[in-house]
Amino acid sequence: MDIQQKLAEAVVGGLKALYGQDVPVEQVQLQKTKKEFEGHLTLVVFPFLRMSHKGPEQTAQELGEYLKANEPMVAAFNVIKGFLNLTIASAAWIELLNGIYADPNYGIAQAAPDAPLVMIEYSSPNTNKPLHLGHVRNNLLGNALARIIAANGNRVVKTNIVNDRGIHICKSMLAWLKYGNGETPESSGKKGDHLIGDYYVAFDKHYKAEVAALMEQGMTKEEAEAASPLMKEAREMLVKWEAGDPEVRALWKKMNDWVYAGFDETYKMMGVSFDKIYYESNTYLEGKKKVLEGLEKGIFYRKADGSVWADLTGEGLDHKLLLRSDGTSVYMTQDIGTAEQRFADYPIDKMIYVVGNEQNYHFQVLSILLDKLGFEWGKSLVHFSYGMVELPEGKMKSREGTVVDADDLMAEMIETAKETSGDLGKLDGLTQAEADDIARIVGLGALKYFILKVDARKNMTFNPKESIDFNGNTGPFIQYTYARIQSVLRKAGEAGIELPAQLPTGIELSTKEEGLIQMLADFATIVKQAGTDYSPSVIANYCYDLVKEYNQFYHDYSILREADEAVKVFRLVLSQNVGKIVRLGMDLLGIEVPDRM
């Protein structure tokens, strides 16, 4: 039982003994004592004044005296107005640390076989270009969220929906046919997704040139865009694709396979994976079928031009197009089809979509439509909506090729980590392979942490230089502290110091040591909060606060040079548990921590 729970029960006993009142334990409000006052936990006594029929200070004084006399964990107390500040005895803190020490996965719950099944969709790439900085934020958030929700005792299925069909895919295909001269990833030495992305940019360049030429002949921009032969060819190719034309389908498959091989490398480097991948080329027909079913049941309606719509005015929204007049589907139709397939594959209890905030309206509508179509989780689906990520230079556009590519970004981060670590002498005495691995761990850790420490709902600017600093609220600062703790533990082992399985409770602790134990114990609550709020940043900032506190302790107190053997062993066990919690916390964010640095 934790300190707060035990103390709350002691307060209930005090209220019964002093005032003859039975109070449910939930009514006892204990909070961390404010920094400017002495004590660890503060009891708010105002709710109990009607029982004591006394003033707040006298009631607090009487409760304090009762607790001091009857609860061994209360070492001292002081009263400030209606607040009773309680100082917890060292023995209680050591007992609490022993509980954390005994549990290798403290704060992390394991899912029972019948635990709720939560499906999380993230990544959602297009097969006409490589993953970029926006995808990096999406993947890192989705991956961290999946880990956090699993750590809260849920079964989790990670899925990806690949946008592998549509006009944008045909643009890359057509450009490759026209200007590619049979170029392949092997012949060019490029990753497949980069190669195809280059042709997407090439299409746009030729298309713009065509439009400009037509405008010079006196057409308006709209007329020129409508008359562009290149765009017309791309549209014809899409019609052929939908009709199952064998040549177009074979080219589509070949080029998509190049892209998937490229994506796999990027995902692997990023440390991201999926349990099941869905493809829009399979789901859009399911969606059409589901919409037509809804039409038959009178949930949707057909306009004179043959298009199918949903009337959402009753929900305070407008009319939503679901099938165009030519029978082709829109994104919403595909999402309905994907939902249908997923529901057939898994008994989903909750569905979370990790998609940028520009799609807020889309998911509001999707939730209503799925509910109307009878999906149990439709109403409660979660759109985990996150903000844009930009560079200090500003916005990015993939058509114009000004996008920050995920592979280039990760390679650059690793290179910067290598240079920075080398300059600071952190790679001295390591083999080349060890140095390379640490540069990878630090570079990717810097990238992931910088993105995940920000509240996901906010727009953010990613600054590569700032993210790799070894001081301040950064991944490398946390990783370096972890490596420092491992170094202390290695030296203790070399000196023949063995750590006991449990600590004796007779040591007097400093305020700093008690504070660190209290922070370690908070980890379980932090994991719960991150799961309830869908907020990886809560974990990131907790890890930073913990290592900041530990570094102050490390600076102010001796560990290996401590003369008192029992205190030395206590500080080693405390350090080892700080390391453990940092590792568990960073792991929830998908960030590795190095043993040496």
Q: What is the pLDDT of residues 87-143, one digit of tens each?
A: 999 999 999 999 999 999 999 999 999 999 999 999 999 999 899 888 999 999 999
Residue range 551-579, pLDDT digits in tens = 999 999 999 999 999 999 999 999 999 99
Query: Given this model, what pLDDT does residue 423 score?
Result: 85
Average pLDDT value for residue range 473-479: 95
In the sheet that holds 117-121, the strands lie side by side as 276-279, 155-162, 117-121, 350-356, 382-386
CA distances, 528 to each of 149, 478, 519, 583 (Å) = 9, 22, 15, 17
Amino acid found at 497? I
Q: What HEC string does 194-242 produce?
A: HHHHHHHHHHHHHHHHHHHHHHHCCCCHHHHHHHCHHHHHHHHHHHHHH
Query: Given this model, what pLDDT does residue 396 score?
Result: 46
Percent of the chain at pLDDT above 70?
98
Per-residue confidence at 465, pLDDT binned at 50, 70, 90? Answer: confident
Q: Is 3 left (phi over 0), alpha (psi -120 to 50) or beta?
A: alpha
Query: Given this model, what pLDDT does residue 462 score?
Result: 86
Query: Given this model, what pLDDT does residue 501 score?
Result: 94
Per-residue pLDDT for 404 more than 90?
no
Query: Given this model, what pLDDT does residue 395 score?
Result: 53
Per-residue pLDDT for 389 more than 90?
no
- 3-88 and 406-588: same fold? no
Helix or strand or coil: residue 76?
A: strand
Helix or strand or coil: residue 255?
A: helix
Query: Comparing 470 with 488, which gets the higher pLDDT?
Result: 488
Residue for token digits 């299409």? 203
Per-residue confidence at 402, pLDDT binned at 50, 70, 90? Answer: low
Average pLDDT over the chain, rounded to an integer: 93
- Cα 194 to Cα 201: distance, rounded to the nearest angstrom: 11
Rg (CA), the chain: 30
In CATH, what is the architecture of 3-88?
2-Layer Sandwich (3.30)
pTM for the whole thing?
A: 0.91
Who contacts 561 (Cβ-Cβ below 8 Å, separation ≥6)? none
Residue for token digits 């299925």? 157
| Helical axes 565-588 vs 133-151, angle rounded to 10° | 120
Q: Where are the domains of the chain?
A: 3-88, 165-273, 406-588
Average pLDDT value for residue range 427-439: 89
Per-residue pLDDT for 231 more than 60?
yes
Of the candidates 177, 293, 186, 296, the residue with the CA atom closest to the CA atom of residue 237: 177
Per-residue pLDDT for 399 more than 70?
no
Residue range 289-314, pLDDT digits in tens = 999 999 999 999 999 999 999 999 99
Of the candidates 574, 582, 584, the residue with the CA atom closest to the CA atom of residue 492: 574
Per-residue pLDDT for 400 more than 60?
no
**Greatest extent of the chain over all pairs of C-alpha atoms, in Å:** 96
Pick the CATH number of 406-588 from 1.10.730.10, 3.40.50.300, 3.20.20.210, 3.10.20.30: 1.10.730.10
- Cα 396 to Cα 320: distance, rounded to the nearest angstrom: 30
- Cα 200 to Cα 173: distance, rounded to the nearest angstrom: 8
Residue range 407-421, pLDDT digits in tens = 989 999 999 999 888
- Phi, psi at 39, each rounded to 5°: 130, 170
Of the candidates 183, 134, 163, the residue with the CA atom closest to the CA atom of residue 260: 163
Per-residue pLDDT for 429 more than 90?
no
Query: Given this model, what pLDDT does residue 398 score?
Result: 46
- Cα 157 to Cα 346: distance, rounded to the nearest angstrom: 9
Per-residue pLDDT for 361 more than 60?
yes
Cβ neighbours around 27 below 10 Å, total: 12
Who contacts 511 (Cβ-Cβ below 8 Å, separation ≥6)? none
